[in-house]
Amino acid sequence: MQELLRAVSREAILPHYQSLSSDQIMEKAEDDFVTVADRLAEEMLAEGLQRIIPGLPIVGEEAAHADPSVLQRLRDDCWIVDPIDGTHNFAQGKPPFGILIAMASAGEAHTGWIYDVLTDRLCIAHRGKGAFIDGERISATASGEQPPVAAISTIFMDPAEREMVRNHVAPHYRLVDTPRCAAEQYPRLALGQNDVSIFNRTLAWDHAAGVLWLNEAGGKAARLDGSPYRVDEIERTGLLGAASPALWDDLAARYEQLS
């Protein structure tokens, strides 16, 4: 897998980094971009993954955008692919951005890869077997700061929820900017940089690998009510991530008071 990720980075992504022309950046929706590199990378990843397991269905971000019926594959065995996670950053010629790949069965991810294109860092998780960075098993570590460090994404919240989070949750934490890249945010939650995160939009290609990896590292990522994240809950929103179950519980309790 790492060789495929490196090849896609080398041939499809990095040649376009900091060299995109305006006509190579398209807006799929408000503040949601796709570039020629995203599309080329997804094509290369799909070809490579088919060589690894021929016939296994693929749910790619760009393929699903072009044909929403692709999302039905999330109910069965499948690959889940985000060819460039952090496209907003990539399109502006700045880090972070990465590649996210997961394998899922019956709506649950069981294997995940989080690849940092610029640093070659590879995070891997296998359900029940732990989380790894560049081959070394890791355990999630909190920042140790008081108040805890929070990266809260309010971009996709409705105005009422955004206001409640800002007024009733955010004051209990030291806020830091989100990287606008799940491939960076999940590692930050395990590596002592961020303690908690709130995600509103929870698309499978953004979160399948990261949720699995953080949970396997000993942190916690789950829905607002504590239920497990499933990749086939296509319309559902809201997800909390934390460096430890205790930090997750504290954030969830504060969030519950908003309802």
Residue 176 vs residues 83, 150, 170, 196: alpha-carbon distances, Å? 26, 6, 10, 10
Residue 32 predicted with pLDDT over 80:
no
Q: What's the mean pLDDT in 210-219?
A: 98
Please indicate whether the domains covering 2-138 and 149-256 agree at the CATH topology level.
no
Kindly report, residue by residue over 117-131, the tens digit of the pLDDT.
999 999 999 999 999
| Residue 78: half-sphere exposure toward Cβ, Cα within 13 Å | 21
Q: What's the mean pLDDT in 101-108?
A: 97
Question: What does residue 93 show for φ and ψ, rounded to 5 degrees?
Answer: 75, 35
- 9 contact partners, CB below 8 Å, separation of at least 6: 99, 115, 117
Name the more confident of 118 and 160. Answer: 118
Residue 106 predicted with pLDDT over 90:
yes
Closest CA to 169 of 86, 89, 255: 255
**120 labeled binding residue:** no
The dihedral through the CA atoms of 107, 108, 109, 110 has a sign that is: negative
How confident is residue 146, by pLDDT bands cut at 50, 70 and 90? very high
* pLDDT recorded at residue 30: 65
Percent of the chain past pLDDT 70, that is, above it, reads 98
CATH assignment of 2-138, given 3.30.540.10, 3.10.450.50, 1.10.20.10, 3.50.7.10? Answer: 3.30.540.10
Q: What's the mean pLDDT in 242-249?
A: 98
What DSSP element (H or E) covers 199?
A: strand 196-199
Sequence ranges of the domains in the chain = 2-138, 149-256
Residue 27 predicted with pLDDT over 70:
yes
Q: Where are the alpha helices (DSSP H) in the chain?
A: 2-8, 36-52, 61-66, 87-91, 159-164, 182-190, 204-216, 245-256
- C-beta separation of 231 from 74 below 8 A: yes
**Which token pair is 56?**
């296994």
How confident is residue 259, by pLDDT bands cut at 50, 70 and 90? low
Residue 231 predicted with pLDDT over 90:
yes
Residue 22 predicted with pLDDT over 80:
yes
- C-beta separation of 84 from 90 below 8 A: yes
* pLDDT recorded at residue 31: 64
Architecture of domain 149-256: 3-Layer(aba) Sandwich (3.40)
* pLDDT recorded at residue 258: 75
- C-beta separation of 45 from 80 below 8 A: no
* pLDDT recorded at residue 28: 73
Least reliable range by pLDDT among 11-20, 126-135, 151-160: 151-160
Q: What's the mean pLDDT in 170-185?
A: 96
**232 labeled binding residue:** no
**249 labeled binding residue:** no
Summary mean pLDDT of the chain: 95
* pLDDT recorded at residue 249: 98
Q: What's the mean pLDDT in 33-60?
A: 97
**Which token pair is 111?**
């294997």
**82 labeled binding residue:** yes
Helices 204-216 & 182-190, crossing angle to 10 degrees?
10
Q: What's the mean pLDDT in 163-177?
A: 93
